[in-house]
Amino acid sequence: MRVFMLGWEFPPFISGGLGTACYGLTKAMDQLGMKIIFVLPKAVDSSCASHVKLLTPSSVSNQREVEGSSLKNVKFYSIASWLRPYTDRRGLKRGLTRTEGNKEGTGEFITALENSVSDDYSRDMYTEVHRYAALATELALQEQFDIIHAHDWMTYPAGMAVAALSGKPLVVHIHSTEFDRSGEHVNQMIYDIERMGMHAADRVIAVSYFTRNIVVNRYGVPVEKVEVVHNGVERNGNGGEWSLSKTGITKGEKIVLFLGRITMQKGPEYFLQAAKKVLEVMDNVKFVMAGSGDLVRKSVEMAAELGIGHKVVFTGFLRGEDVKKIYKMADLFVMPSVSEPFGIVPLEALENDVPVIISKQSGVSEVLIHALKVDFWDVNEIANKIVAVLKYPPLEVTLRNYGNFEVRKLRWKDSAEKCMRVYAETLAAVARKATCLL
C-alpha cells in the first residue's frame, strides 16, 4: 500500500504540535514498512535540516524533493509556500523569517516581535491553500498510490483535488479545529474548508474523543465516520547542559514551565493568574513561558500588571536542544489550554521527567492517568496544584516516575497501526461500494 500524504510542517521547522505529530506518525509508519509520499507545503533551508537530505530539484520547477535519511520508505516533496498552520495575525513575513533563519535554534525572543504587520492574511491564505492544492495535484499525477491522507484544513483542498483526480479514497486527519484555535470567533473561510474536507473524506481521523465530539457536533459529520487515533510520543535521549545565568534564574529556584504557542487556545492568561496566586504563598519560584504567538505582548503586559513581571521569563520560540534544556530545568509543566484537541507537549514533558498539570479540556487527558488535571478556568485549583507539586516531594516523585512509565506505553507505533487499520477499512469499504455498483 502507498499513501499520498499531505502535511504542512516537519521537524525542525515546526511551530506547534502538528509537525511533531506528522513526524512521529510518518516515522512509525515507515518502520512498519508503509510506503509514503509526503508532500510538505514548506520551504526547507538545507543548512537547517539536520536529518533531512536535500536532493536536486525535481521536474516540477518550484518543488524540491527531499529524503529523510532515516526514513527509507518515505519520499518527501516540499512545495515552496507561505502556508502557516496557525493563522497568526502577526502576518506572514515573520513566519518566513523564522523558516529561513535561526540556524542555532535559539528561537525568537520577544524583542523580535516588531515586524508584526498584519494585512489581509486570509485572502493570502486562501490563495496559498489553493496554489498548494494545484501543485500537489500536479505532483500526484506522477505518483502511484492507493490512499490519500491529509493533515488539517490547509491540505484539505489539495486532498480533495487529488482524490477527485485520482479516484482514490481520502482520509482527513483532524489535529485541531477552528473552534480550538479561535474559540467562538471562527474564521468562516477556514471553517468552510474544514467542513468541506470532512464531508468529502471517506474517513475522518480525530486525535481524541474531545475532538471527535467537536467534529460531530460542530461540523455535522456522522459519528461512525470518525475514528479516534491518539497521538504518541517520540523517545528522546536526555538534553544537554543549560546555563542558568542567561535567564536570571538562580539555583534553588523552582521552575514552572508553560511551553507552547502563546495564543488564546493555550490559555496563557490562566497560567499567569495562577502564577500570581502561587507567588502569594511561595517565593522561590520562576515561571517560564516558552513559545511565540499573538498573545506574547499581551502576556508580558499582563505579567507586569499582576506585579509578577520579575518572576516570569519569556524565552520565545524554542526548538530542538533548547526544548530539552528547558525540560531539564523545569520542575513542573503546566498546560492550561482552553481547548486542546490532543496536546503532545505534556507527553514530551513526561518523557523528559517533568511532571505535568493539564487542562481537562484536552485530548491528552483522555490518555494520561498520572497527571494532575484541572479545569482551565479554575485558577485557584491550578495554583493549588502547582504549590502542591513544588511543596510535597513525594507527589512530584510519584507523578514523575509513574508518568514517565505511562508515557512509554503511548507509542507512535500504535497510532500508526491504527491509521493503517483505518486505511484498510476505507479501501475495503470503497471496494465493496464498487462491487455493489457493478
Smallest gap from Cβ 405 to other proteins, in A, equals 11
Distance (Å, rounded) from C-alpha 245 to C-alpha 242? Answer: 9
Q: Provide the H-helix boundaries in 143-266.
A: 156-166, 178-182, 188-200, 209-219
Let me know: does 363 contact 379? Beta carbons within 8 Å.
no
CB nearer other proteins, residue 192 or residue 375: 375
Let me know: does 73 contact 30? Beta carbons within 8 Å.
yes
Smallest gap from Cβ 408 to other proteins, in A, equals 15
Q: Stretches 9-17, 84-92, 131-139, 385-393: which one binds other proteins (CB under 8 A)?
A: 385-393
> Residue 205 phi/psi, 5° resolution?
-110, 125
Quick check: 266 binds other proteins (CB under 8 A)? no
Quick check: 50 binds other proteins (CB under 8 A)? no
How many residues bind to other proteins according to rule CB under 8 A? Answer: 23
One-letter amino acid identity for 83? L
Site for other proteins in 277-336 (CB under 8 A): 277, 280-281
CA distance to 15, 169, 170, 267, per residue, from 270 (Å) = 21, 42, 39, 6
CB nearer other proteins, residue 283 or residue 301: 283
Let me know: does 33 contact 65? Beta carbons within 8 Å.
no
Short-list 140, 176, 142, CA closest to 19? 176
CB nearer other proteins, residue 247 or residue 384: 384
Q: Which of 103, 183, 398, 408 binds other proteins (CB under 8 A)?
A: 398
How remote is the C-alpha of 337 from its chain's centroid?
13
Distance (Å, rounded) from C-alpha 271 to C-alpha 256? Answer: 10
Q: Which of 332, 387, 420, 422 binds other proteins (CB under 8 A)?
A: 387
Instruction: Look at the alpha carbons of 418, 424, 427, 432 in this order and tell me if their dihedral is positive or negative.
Output: negative
CB nearer other proteins, residue 370 or residue 411: 370
Q: Which of 380, 408, 421, 424 binds other proteins (CB under 8 A)?
A: 380
Q: Which of 186, 329, 388, 427 binds other proteins (CB under 8 A)?
A: 388
Q: Which of 123, 235, 391, 432 binds other proteins (CB under 8 A)?
A: 391
CA angle 24, 337, 152 (to 5 degrees): 45
Quick check: 93 binds other proteins (CB under 8 A)? no
Q: Which of 174, 300, 326, 383 binds other proteins (CB under 8 A)?
A: 383
The DSSP letter of residue 378 is -
Quick check: 384 binds other proteins (CB under 8 A)? yes
Smallest gap from Cβ 343 to other proteins, in A, equals 18
Dig out the grid coordinates for 252 from the structure.
534553588
**What are 284's strand-pairing partners?**
none
CB nearer other proteins, residue 149 or residue 277: 277
Smallest gap from Cβ 386 to other proteins, in A, equals 9
Quick check: 276 binds other proteins (CB under 8 A)? no
Distance (Å, rounded) from C-alpha 268 to C-alpha 275? Answer: 11
Quick check: 369 binds other proteins (CB under 8 A)? yes
CB nearer other proteins, residue 44 or residue 387: 387
CB nearer other proteins, residue 280 or residue 305: 280
Smallest gap from Cβ 346 to other proteins, in A, equals 14
Q: Stretches 97-105, 194-202, 244-252, 372-380: which one binds other proteins (CB under 8 A)?
A: 372-380
CB nearer other proteins, residue 98 or residue 276: 276
Quick check: 402 binds other proteins (CB under 8 A)? yes
Distance (Å, rounded) from C-alpha 370 to C-alpha 235? Answer: 18
Quick check: 399 binds other proteins (CB under 8 A)? yes
Distance (Å, rounded) from C-alpha 209 to C-alpha 207? Answer: 7
How remote is the C-alpha of 44 from its chain's centroid?
18
Terminal C-alpha separation, the chain: 24
Let me know: does 119 contact 159? Beta carbons within 8 Å.
no
Let me know: does 92 contact 84? Beta carbons within 8 Å.
yes
Smallest gap from Cβ 344 to other proteins, in A, equals 21
Distance (Å, rounded) from C-alpha 336 to C-alpha 356? Answer: 11
Smallest gap from Cβ 118 to other proteins, in A, equals 40
Smallest gap from Cβ 389 to other proteins, in A, equals 8
> Residue 358 phi/psi, 5° resolution?
-125, 155
- The answer to whether the bond into 12 is cis (omega within 30° of 0) is yes
CB nearer other proteins, residue 250 or residue 380: 380
CB nearer other proteins, residue 85 or residue 336: 336
Quick check: 192 binds other proteins (CB under 8 A)? no
Which stretches of the chain bind other proteins, using CB under 8 A?
277, 280-281, 369-370, 372-373, 380-381, 383-385, 387-388, 391-395, 397-399, 402
